[in-house]
Amino acid sequence: MSAVLDDTLLDDPARLAEADSAGLLRAAAMAGAQVRSTTERAVEVQLADRLDLGRPRALVLIVRPGVGRALTKLLAALLAPSCPVPVVVTDAVPSWIGALDVVFAHTDDPADRELAAGIERASRYGATVVLSAPDEGPVAASVAGKGLLLSPRIPVPPELTFARGLAAGLLTANALGLLVADVEALADQLDGEAERGHLGRDSFSNPAKALALRLADRVPMLWGLDPLAIALAEHGAYELGAYAGMVCDAADYRQALARPALRRMVLANSGEQDLFADPDFDDMGLKPRVLLLAVHSGPTADAARYEASNTLPGAGIIAPGDEISGDEPVRAGVLALRFELAAVYLGLAAGSMGGAGQYAPATA
């Protein structure tokens, strides 16, 4: 399903503000604030001191529904190149968990009883637990007094907590000596992306609006050229489903091309939309829009982009490293926020804002 877009709305700040009655654009723009508040919370609970345990036997990343699914895959991809310990990505706390292991999970569901039971068992067996979750309900109770709870301070809807979870994961990895990530730079660059994506900027200078226009009236195909980009493709697909009601294909570029029928369709429809096409008789809504996502940089990454561009000449490329400075966690965070803002813009312009009414924005 594609979004049928009222594109005039995107360049009308007054109408946008009126349509965004739930304050979702403002909430998405607080990604940098989420990172800073998580850092402050980590200092308060003495995260760095309490994780000064020496090298753990394993780091276990628990996958939960919502933004946590792509988030844990992204954290694993960030750690993979040089991590000196095994990184286990799993839906549940494994049976072999023990005192030498560290468990990390991000959830926005305070009543996730499956996670609560797993965390309680991990704590009982002596594992160190870091939990990014609300400070109420069974999940928070499962870690009380036995682990580290990084609870939110910035009220945003569950679909927009990727930045908080990313900050919590990066701070945990930093404290364990498994990664060196500049979390302060991440917050600064997220503020910069939120400014670029502000509703007052027109679509020519607003990367989130421009992305929304590229995806409208097409079936999005988000294909990652590296492991980080693949995780972010999944996050983008989640956000487009959450706010724009769009079905989206998220895949590894090579795996995507291994589907012959889809590959033929993409190549056959790689041109731009015909300006003179009649939407009443044309099936534009069924045509794909391939966006190749790239987070890695360097010769190998450049070669992959060159190959993909030649194989799919009609595809667009989104590579945040071409626009901003920063390490891979920073580039990944910026791309995640861009998809969040684009999804909200699409939802507002198409009138398909899924679940927005569940969010009551905070008042100053």
pLDDT at 363: 38
pLDDT at 5: 63
pLDDT at 352: 66
The angle subtended at Cα 108 by Cα 20 and Cα 49, nearest 5°, is: 125
For residue 123 the two structure tokens come to: 């704590």
pLDDT at 4: 54
d(C-alpha 15, C-alpha 9), whole Å: 6
pLDDT at 359: 35
H helical segments located in the chain: 7-10, 13-19, 24-28, 31-44, 47-50, 67-79, 113-124, 137-143, 162-175, 183-196, 207-215, 227-239, 253-257, 260-268, 299-311, 328-350
Centroid of chain to Cα 116: 23
pLDDT at 280: 45
In the chain the first and final C-alpha atoms are separated, in Å, by 37
**Phi and psi angles of residue 103, each rounded to the nearest 5 degrees, phi first:** -115, 130
* Contact yes or no for 203/210 (Cβ under 8 A): yes
Rg of the chain over Cα atoms, rounded to whole angstroms, equals 21
Centroid of chain to Cα 284: 28
**Predicted model pTM:** 0.91
pLDDT at 54: 87
For residue 144 the two structure tokens come to: 């009380």
Residue with tokens 């503000």: 17
DSSP conformation letters of 81-103? TT-SS-EEEESS--TT--TTEEE
* Count of alpha carbons within 13 angstroms of residue 337, beta-carbon side: 37
pLDDT at 355: 37
d(C-alpha 202, C-alpha 256), whole Å: 33
Q: Please list the pLDDT of the chain residue by residue as tens digits (364 residues).
A: 444 566 788 889 999 999 999 999 999 999 999 999 999 999 999 999 999 988 999 999 999 999 999 999 999 999 998 899 999 999 999 999 999 999 999 999 999 999 999 999 999 999 999 999 999 999 999 998 889 999 999 999 999 999 999 999 999 999 999 999 999 999 999 999 999 999 999 999 999 999 999 998 889 999 999 999 999 999 999 999 999 999 999 999 999 999 999 999 898 876 544 443 444 434 444 689 999 999 998 888 889 999 999 999 889 999 998 988 889 999 999 999 999 999 999 999 887 664 333 333 333 3
User: Pick from 172, 174, 179: which is nearest to 61 by CA?
Assistant: 172
